[in-house]
Structure 1
Amino acid sequence: MKILFEDIMIKFGEAILGTDLKAIVNVIIGKGTEIDTAFTNALTRRPSPIFANLRDNLIVRPLTIVVPQNDINSEIQVELLNGVIQYGVAKAIADMGEKEGIDNDLKAVITVSVPDVPFTTINKRKLFQYYYGATKLAINRALSEYPSAEKIKKEKYRALHPLVGFRDIKLERPPYLQVALDVPTIESMENIVESLPQSDRIIIEAGTPLIKKYGIEVIEQIREIFDGFIVADLKTLDTGRIEVRMAFEATANAVVLSGLAPKSTILKGIHECQKCGIMSYLDTINLNNPVELYNKLELKPDVLMVHRGIDEEINKDNNKNRSSLSKEDFDNNIILGVAGGVSAETVEDLKNKYDILVVGRGITKSREPARVARSIVNKLGDDIEQYRLYLDEDEDIAY
């Protein structure tokens, strides 16, 4: 059976295999003027590309060109490119032609990375197998248009790039524990953050007192020991754009705006968060009607925080602190958080109603902050890595 390209005349795929040595393969495959142009352009680039040959004078079909991604600076790289890498790619293309049938109009451009490693038997064997497998996988992904939009949506909050070392979390997998660092010293902050358990469900909040005392740069100090999701609790009341940009430049992932601020300040703050790609919190402390304010906003915050202040907590006669607000009062995209009166004992009741549970003194003033934080996190669900599929086990292989 021949590969059909009636709807899409050109397709793309990529694959990386190997650990100590890596085969990095990108594929463009198709027929028609688009692939002809790509093929011709590849032929004229430097360093010089080569055809995929099984041996001298035996090119494979579909017609395939192998293009090095990097400069070729040594005799070893020349031999690897013209030897085991070319051979691995050619074998994979030959397999495709044998299984799917040869379409003489079909062409492929394969880009490869060429390492400069000792020219040994084991390195040659590894590179052949890695490039053979990676080329087959990249072609399969191109033909099946892998990954799907659903796969990307599922992976984007748990993907860990090997050369980055951290995830960019956007609070897409609630519930979360947000630890509010309203502590008086840098030493206290460091001790608490370092004691917290490793969990993707923990958010760090640079509390308002901490930022007022040490400046917005305290976020960078937190970042040195906790490279997760950090919220700058500025409770912005004015100059929304300026304060958001300050927090963004200090690497905050989110900024807290006050619901008591003028509407224009809130909107400017939310807009600046959207421009910078960070999240906006709207704090409802001392706000009589959060739903009314939310509905009036042309731009919606990412997170609405139902907040009882510390001074309110001290006043036991003040019962307005636990709001009856729920997610049903807002649109489907809202993330609802709660601050004030949250503890390990109340987590079970709150986690189904709120996406973010903020705990401050219950952790920071505890003699065992790590134990308290872990007791809460354990009630929120599994970590991202706990049931992670190994090397895309959910991927179908058609070719």
Structure 2
Amino acid sequence: MNCTECKELLVAHIEGLLDASQEQAVAEHLKDCSACKAEAETLRGLQGRLAKNGQSVAQGDLENDVMNLIVREQKVRLKAAEKAAEGLKLRRIIMKSRYAKVAAAAVIIIAVVIGLIPGNNVTFADVVKPILNAKTVILDMIIGADESGPTMHEIVVGSRIRRTMSNLPTLTQILDLDSGKMLVLESEGKTAGIVDISGTVQEGTKNYVEFLRQVIRQVQEGQVEKLGEQVIDGQKAIGFKGKGQNEEVTIWADAETCHPIRIELQVGSASVVMKNFEFDTVVDDALVSMDTPNGYTMQAQQFDLSGATEEDFVELLRIIWAEIIRDGTFPGAVSSEHIMKAMPVLVQKLTEMQLSEEEGTETGLKVGRGMLFHQSIDSQGNWHYAGANVKLGDADTAIFWYLPQGSQTYRVIYGDLTVKDVAEADLPK
């Protein structure tokens, strides 16, 4: 059990509502995790204070603490219930499907390039000190600002990253950013594959790994807004916000220990939340090894995600959204967050289509390359999507347009997926 899973069950744990297996899992996690144990104690304390001071709860900081936690835990309960049902359904699909590994090619972390203009503050320096000095970083990353998206559990050791995802429970990715390779492991079928991530993915992920340190370096010359204190994830925290041309980052840290609690990142249309940080934890080298584990079979085919192009994005729109997931119409949005959330549906649809393994794998690679191309233009911020509910084949309706770097004209994609060069003055209004 990781920290995210534990914290989702803390309220039910305190109220005695868990079944025996869940109770045991939470109890064992709390023995070893000081952060979750501290949050559990905070919840118990507030519960006791509320019971004792029910008539005076409207007074002072107690009201704020209690109300913040009530709202937060109501959301957690709802999300936990939804995730439990969704997770069981997804696991049944994946365990029956030989296409589970197909999705591995499509769940590459979106390359986040940071160009912040943060600020200069002694307290902020205290907050980020562990980030600057850490040799290993463990964290949870959630795609989407509302925290309803998939959670990626990251173990970062130098240039190696071990990644698992909440909505693809049988898959593990190990990235080697020096060699530009990714090892993908599928635990149900005991298969392994190597994906070439050189180029955009490799460099973009390196930028992600360096993100926290870049914030600190740039903060000394820019401006940071101090947000004051709030209760974040059950802890009193002090916050800072920095903005760039197309980016915004908010960092919350424990008001007493200065330990980072939460980072909220917005780059273009992509939103990411980072939390449950652990710094300088001893990590077994085997967890980030690129060697094929015992009992796994390495696939002969090598997969290539380098060199994503506009054609890949067009294929993403056509095959994945319009033909497979949406049955002939385009979706309400095409952000990375929406694609990641739709991944279980993609796996299920591929299973129902009974494609050959080669066809399924190629489909997954098209998803991955299309996502990467979209992210490359998303980071520049000069694009627009207008395809909601447009039918595939509608040649008269523009569904997506973007300005390539260095170009004077926009590239416009229509409902029949033809692409034209269009002057800015002639774009749809």
TM-score, normalising length: structure 2: 0.22
TM-score by length of 1: 0.23
Larger RCO: Structure 1 or Structure 2 (Cα < 8 Å, ≥ 6 residues apart)?
2
